[in-house]
Structure formats: C-alpha cells, structure tokens
Amino acid sequence: MNNNTNIRRRKMPIGIQTFDEMASGMWVYVDKTALVYELANDAKHNFLSRPRRFGKSLLVSTLAAYFRGDKEVFKGLAMEKLETEWVKYPVFIFDFVIDTYNDDVAQVESFLNHKLSNLEAIWGKEENEESFGQRFEGLIKRASKQTGKNVVVLIDEYDRALTQTMDKPELNRQVRDVLKGFFSVLKGADQYIRFALLTGVTKFSKVSIFSDLNQLKDISLNEKYAAICGITQQELETNFEPEIEILAEKTNLSYEEALIKLREEYNGYLFFEGGPSVYNPFSTINVLADSKFGDYWYETGTPTFLINELVQNKFDILDFEKGVSSSSADINDYRREEGNFTPLLFQTGYLTIKSYREPSNSYILGFPNGEVKRGFSGSLLTAYSKPIPAKTSYAYTKFNDDLYTGDLDSFFDRLTSFFAALPYDLHNDATNEKDYQYVFYVLMTLLGEFTFAEVRGNIGRADAIIKTDEKIYIFEFKVTAGGTVDEALAQIEEKGYAKPFETNPDEKREIVKVGVVFDTAARNVKEWKVAECQRQG
C-alpha cells in the first residue's frame, strides 16, 4: 500500500473547466490533447453532443488554448509533440453555460449583446450592424481581415437556453428565433472561419442549425471521438491508481473490488456502438476526491421539464431495464412535438448504447450504470408520489433492513403503507399487474438494491429479482382477477426462474421465492406467500 499521507496531496479537478488551470500541474489531468489535435485538424464545422457535466467546457477551453497558440500550457502533453507550427488564430467563445435563461427572452438577448460588445471592443463595429447576426458576421470578417487568419468559433452549450425553457412553449419559441438568427451566420461567413465547434446536450432540429448549416459535421457518435469526453477504463487505472487504493481502503474493498464497483456505478456510456465505454468524469472525480461512493452526477439536478413530461406521458421505466430499440436517425434528432422522449433521454445521459443492430441500423438503449438508474428512479418516484415524511412506517432505509434480515412480514407492511400513500391516478390501469411491478421496481431501484425486472428464465420472465449479499429474492406478481399467490409460486417453478441461480455452483446465497397478489380495487398488496407461509397484506 502506498503512503496515503502523500497520496492525499494530489488534487482532484472538481469544477475546473479552464484548460490553462487544469494543465498547470496543480491537478490530476487525463491527457486528451491527442484527440483535440485530431479534431482541430479534421472537419471544419463540428457539433458534439454529450450529457451535462461531461467535460464539454474543458474541451472547448482546450481547443481555445490550442488555436490561440498557447504552446507553453501543453508542455509535457501529447499536443506538444503533435503540433509543430503553433499558428495563432482569433478565437471567439460563446459559453452559454454561464447564465440562466428561463424567465424572459431578454436574458438570451442580454447574453449575446454582452459577448458581442466585448468582441467589438477589440475588433470594432460598423454602424449598419444592428441585429445579433449582423454584428456577429461583421466581427468574424473584421477579425479575419485584421489578422490575416480565419476565425475560430467555439460555442459551448448552445442549447442551454432551449432546454431551460422547454416547459414554457412561447418563451422557447422566442428563444429559438433569436438563436436561429445568430447561428445562421456561421454558414454565410464560412470563408472567414478556420474551425467551428458547437457543443450541447440535445440536437434540436427546429432551431435550423442542422438544416441551415448543412456543412456541420455531427461527431457525437463518431468512432474517433467516442472518448474525447469521459474517462476510459485504461485512463482510470493509469491516472488514478493512488486514489483508487485509498477508495478501496476507506470502503473496506480490495483494489479489484473497488474497480468493479466503480465500473458498475459510473462507467457504461457508449458514444459509438463498438466502444470504448467511458466513465462519467464528474462522478468519478468526486468519488476519488471524497474516497466515498455516491450519486454525485444526479445530485447536480435533473431537468424538471423532462421528469414532468415523462410522468404526464405515462413513461414506463421497465422498458429501459429490458432495452428499447431506437433508430440511428431518432437518437440524433429530438422532436418534442412527436412525443418520442427516447432521443432526449439518450442525449441527456440517462440512456446509452447497449448494442447495435446492423441490418436495421438501430440501437438498443438502456441505463448506463447504477448511479443513473437509481437517480432516475428516484426522480420519477418523487414526481409520482406524495411527499413522504422522514419518519413513517415505510421509511425507505427500512426496506433495505428487511431484505437483508429476511423479515418479509415487516417488508410487506411497509410496502402496503407505501402503496397506500401513492396518488389514486398513478397507474395507467389498476387491473394490470405491470403497473404494480413498475412501482415496485422503481422503489427497489431507489433503495440501491440489485433489482432486475422481467428477468428471463428457462421458458419465461420473472417479474422482479432482488439480490442482497446473502439472499436472492424472486418475485412473481398477480392481480386479484389474474391469479393467486399459489399460482404465482407455481409459475416461478414451472418457468424455471430460479434455475440460473440453483444450478450455479458458485452461487451460495439463499433463494427466496415470493408470490404476491395485488388488490385492484384497493390498489394495494392483498396477500403474499413464501414457501408454505402465507401473509395478508
């Protein structure tokens, strides 16, 4: 084991988005400059979509330093050997991420005016330039003519104002119109531009960026740039070995066990069907800085509009446990008016690529990791349910205790209380067992258990399987009109839901088979049974 006193002196770059500071030597830095060099010398106009807190701003700052010719800040990095000329270009940066825009379109206009005014103080302004588009185009042309070098335009989080106003249709339309007039300049000023990059979370077709700017190359799912943001497995183990050792020690895990848990919790994002998968950088850096596992990325906030839309449209989280199919065209183009939220869930990082079907050019999408699945389930459950007092008979943490001790009497007492607190109109159809399975799955996922829905057995699918350190619970659900607890238990046996565990010589955990019947009139647990012991809910 290394000397932990010395290891702790390494500083994790939490919240550092400026490349000059990141590369100063004060922080642990994963060198992405070889990919930055390739991008800078590849296509002229580019668009990159990545989830929030995924390193887009740092990428923009790195590109800015490169195009400004700041050779000294790349000392010791891959870029130092790759670049030999170090040409200085005028660089325009519009970082929409620094402001909020959810009250009035004037907030967007104020942001653009401020940025353009600062640039005009350097490059000048013509009297006939009145609109944002005219001012932007004039700046690009003047900077190019005055320096003899074409301009680099970097627009970070171009869609920030759009996503913040999605729950306000009229304001969203006004914002869209302002941005359309501003961004469309990039095509007309093409001959004066050396390089352009737009980053964002979503790809809004209606802004007309991607129809008007037909020269814009979308590199979001490009194989070469799949790991330009995020941390690969190799980068994690190469750059953070001391911190992983400390994490393992603090959490009573071996080094290998700590790696496995890190991968399960924070890895899993694919931006090209062949990989590599990457870790969420924000969560990973925070875990290693705190030496503690937690839901860091999700705690930074889930878009309220997204959760509300999903609740209103009776979104079924179970679909994404099994995997949902989406065409290549769909996941690249979100159209709210069509009511398909899969592209938005993919682009915002709640879903990722699990596999690719070449004949149909489609993807199977699912949750990337444990952190996202838990956090997403928690947001849905909070939106669905009434506020839950901290001290109630169904307090969340007590569910875990019941499962670990095997006290199913207490577990189902809490579950009955929990269902009683849910709104009457929560379910799509109270006579459908899948709706109860849905709520059960969301609750168990929120608790952090290894919960799986509709797990395939020999000739069927178990409704839910929960794994703890010492037990494996197999649940089969019925509704009052659809069967009894005995029939539920019989189905577990007949369909062989337990066989994968019973026939595994390495599986030492106790297998507990549970039949549950829900009362469709009361919308709650009616009865449950384990082996020969039946309990009333």
Mean pLDDT of 278-297: 94
- Supply 66's token pair: 């490169």
Q: What gap in Å lies between CA 19 and CA 71, rounded to an integer?
A: 12
**Nearest of 271, 264, 267 to residue 356 by alpha carbon:** 271
What is the pLDDT confidence band of residue 5, given thresholds at 50, 70 and 90?
Answer: very low
pLDDT at 3 over 80: no
Of the ranges 264-278, 371-385, 493-507, the best mean pLDDT one? 264-278
Where is average pLDDT lowest: 8-12, 33-37, 504-508? 8-12
Q: How does the average pLDDT of the chain come out, rounded?
A: 85
Mean pLDDT of 421-443: 65
Q: What is the pLDDT of residue 483?
A: 85
Q: What is the pLDDT of residue 502?
A: 87
Mean pLDDT of 218-229: 95
Q: What is the pLDDT of residue 358?
A: 84
Q: What is the pLDDT of residue 308?
A: 72
Query: Interior CA angle at 166 toward 165 and 168, to 5°?
Result: 70
What is the pLDDT confidence band of residue 466, given thresholds at 50, 70 and 90?
Answer: confident
Q: What gap in Å lies between CA 525 and CA 537, rounded to an integer?
A: 5
What is the pLDDT confidence band of residue 292, given thresholds at 50, 70 and 90?
Answer: very high
Mean pLDDT of 169-197: 92
Q: Are 207 and 165 in contact, with CB atoms under 8 Å apart?
A: no
Q: Rounded to a whole number, what is the distance in angstroms from the first to the last CA of the chain?
A: 52
pLDDT digits (tens, 9 = 90+) for 332-372: 766 665 667 788 888 889 899 999 988 888 899 999 998 99
Q: What gap in Å lies between CA 399 and CA 413, rounded to an integer?
A: 10
- Supply 496's token pair: 């062989």
Mean pLDDT of 442-462: 61
- Supply 462's token pair: 């178990």
Q: Are 256 and 357 in contact, with CB atoms under 8 Å apart?
A: no
Mean pLDDT of 228-246: 97
Q: Are 201 and 49 in contact, with CB atoms under 8 Å apart?
A: yes
pLDDT at 432 over 80: no
pLDDT at 418 over 90: no
Phi, psi dihedrals of residue 131, rounded to the nearest 5°: -75, 165
Whole-Å CA distances, 72 to 69, 76, 80, 82, 315: 9, 9, 9, 14, 51
pLDDT digits (tens, 9 = 90+) for 242-274: 999 999 999 999 999 999 999 999 999 999 998
Of the ranges 117-131, 152-166, 327-341, the best mean pLDDT one? 117-131
pLDDT at 98 over 80: no
- Supply 90's token pair: 């005028």
Q: What is the pLDDT of residue 102?
A: 79
Containing H/E element for 311? helix 304-312
Q: What is the pLDDT of residue 135?
A: 98
Question: CB count, 10 Å around CB of 230?
Answer: 26
Length, in residues, of the chain: 537
Q: What is the pLDDT of residue 457?
A: 45
pLDDT at 375 over 60: yes
Burial group, residue 214, by CB count within 10 angstroms (0-12, 13-18, 19+): exposed
pLDDT at 6 over 60: no
Question: CB count, 10 Å around CB of 111?
Answer: 20
Share in percent of the chain as helix, strand, coil (round to 5):
45, 15, 35
Q: What gap in Å lies between CA 411 and CA 403, rounded to an integer?
A: 7
Containing H/E element for 338? none
| Percent of the chain surpassing pLDDT 90 | 51
Q: What gap in Å lies between CA 188 and CA 346, rounded to an integer?
A: 32
Where is average pLDDT lowest: 23-32, 93-102, 380-389, 414-423? 380-389
Q: What is the pLDDT of residue 381?
A: 72
Q: What gap in Å lies between CA 367 and CA 265, rounded to an integer?
A: 11
